[in-house]
Amino acid sequence: MAKMKAAMAAVLVLEKEGVLQAFGVPGAAINPFYAAMRERESITHILARHVEGASHMAEGYTRAMPGNIGVCIGTSGPAGTDMITGLYSAIGDSIPILCITGQAPRARLHKEDFQAVDIESISRPVTKWSVTVREPAQVPRAFQQAFHLMRSGRPGPVLIDLPFDVQMAEIEFDIETYEPLPVYKPAATRKQIEKALDMMAAAEKPLIVAGGGIINADASALLVEFAELTGVPVIPTLMGWGTIPDDHPLMAGMCGLQTSHRYGNATMLASDFVIGIGNRWANRHTGSPEVYCKGRTFVHVDIEPTQIGRVFNPDLGIVSDAKIALELFVQVARERRDAKKLKDFGEWAGRCAERKKLMHRKTHYTETPIKPMRVYEAMNEVFPRDTIYVTAIGLSQIAGAQFLEVYGPRQWINCGQAGPLGWTIPAALGVVAADPTRTVVGLSGDYDFQFLIEELAVGAQFRLPYVHVLVNNSYLGLIRQSQRGFDMDFCVQLAFENQNIEDPSLRSYGVDHQAVVQGLGCRSLRVTDPEKIEATIREAQSMAREYLVPVVVEVILEKVTNIAMGTEIDKINEFEEIDCRHPEGLQGLELAGLLE
């Protein structure tokens, strides 16, 4: 046993649990913890410009690589409340991050002391566990419990609040005998898996819906193996995008009201059996259960028992970690294949592939101002196959999901349930901090970009290079489009006449992003000609490598473009032209039965 400050014991536990990186903002109430980190020099720290930004950096860091747990740190009061949005984003998408906050001394709690707030109670609804540690001797075990909870069952965030005097108190602690607690994961049984495969065998047009739980469990290779063994096409959810490469013959497209492919929705509507693995049946994927479920039998596999039946009641529910379930699915399917007891779904898979080949949206627009579809076409052309895309919410994210191409897990990093504006820049910085060797691309509309734009200075200071594609239409585009239902265009315009912009054609777009980006120490390029998008992106890639800072490519878009979406998966309004590749157009698709 050794005598040490409780703050030092906390840092030693972080080391034992594998923490290498933290993001945060130091302050008076958390300085003892920072002093321990400085003494150990084992955990690299990146200074955020806003504490909410630190929480999003931690989430990006976690999501970038299997096994990572991002840590965000802040002083008392407003630092903790600033990180609530990051905790909400993390719990919504089942992402483990550890939030550590300083707190006023125990004697000052409940006395309305400066920056003393009950962050334990405030954060409880958006964490797996939130605790103010009131006994110094409990500090190391609180951190041990935090990691156990973050990794067990459905992953998620934890907040630990440390009063100043608790951090400073001396305790006896033996780090040499410390071991992380065993992780608990619920497991499917063979009987359950066999039942699910029996139900699949009774179907004619089955699908696998692959959710983000497969990515969290690092089980994408198993998902692909299972699909190939059974010959069943895969519909990834937005959070599960990349579980199967976009160009895999069995990747049947995404389904949904917004972030979907035409062929994905058509295939879902034509199916008669669906097995969902690691997914939540989120409403933007399903629309109403009445339409989504009609004529289909469902199996639902999820790590969280309370998710089974939450949106609709499946015909079979299986509580299991996605990886454990998929290992069994592969094993049983292989046995049935070897015994020649697997049903052949080749004709159905072929029809799905034909839809995927023929049912596209147009991307090659040549107009100026630029249509957003052309931007994503250029991104697909320029960025390499292993690119990691990071994005938040809005028409830029929706169009990105409709038109970009993703080829592997953790290559589409998107805040799905919470969707906080401003998430993209700090999350992208967290991804770069986790793996500086990869091509990382941020994608934002102008409003998301402006929310936490100051975090670009973090990228310049800590040399975190990536390319940020900023599609600027000077609008809250998604809200403007949704306001069509109210016959209004109210308070969603970001445009104003900026007299500081020399080019009169750009003044009406308002904020001079180029000047702001450069003022924050980063590089920036602007493009107004659709024929120059690809060359500008390539130049940005070279600049990021040369200067080791974020490089922003601002693409000036036409101000109003409606992106395909609808109220049900069978009622999607396309708005723009459809690139139908059937020789007889839409009528040909109908005659061929591809829309059924």
11, 12, 25, 553: which is the annotated catalytic residue? 25
30, 51, 158, 395: which is the annotated catalytic residue? 51
- Is 479 annotated as catalytic? yes
3-state SS string for 389-457: EEECCCHHHHHHHHHCCCCCCCCEEECCCCCCCCCHHHHHHHHHHHCCCCCEEEEEEHHHHHHCHHHHH
- Is 25 annotated as catalytic? yes
User: What is the rounded distance in angstroms from the CA atom of residue 234 to the CA atom of residue 327?
Assistant: 17
- The gap from C-alpha 274 to its chain's centroid, in whole angstroms, comes to 24
Contacts of 521 (CB under 8 A, 6+ apart): 456, 457, 460, 461, 549
421, 452, 471, 478: which is the annotated catalytic residue? 421
Find out whether 415 and 392 touch, Cβ atoms under 8 Å: yes
3-state secondary structure of 549: coil
CB atoms within 10 A of CB 436: 13
- Is 51 annotated as catalytic? yes
- Is 95 annotated as catalytic? no
- Is 421 annotated as catalytic? yes
109, 122, 311, 479: which is the annotated catalytic residue? 479
Amino acid residing at 187: A
Find out whether 38 and 11 touch, Cβ atoms under 8 Å: no
Find out whether 275 and 247 touch, Cβ atoms under 8 Å: no
- Phi then psi for residue 595, to 5 deg, are -95, 5
Amino acid residing at 552: V
The residue among 228, 239, 246, 248 whose CA lies nearest residue 276 is 239
Please give the full DSSP string across 237-276, using - where no structure is assigned: -STTTTSS-TTSTTB----SSSS--HHHHHHHHH-SEEEE
159, 328, 476, 589: which is the annotated catalytic residue? 476
Q: Residue 187 carries which DSSP code?
A: -
Would you name the residues annotated as active-site residues? 25, 51, 421, 476, 479
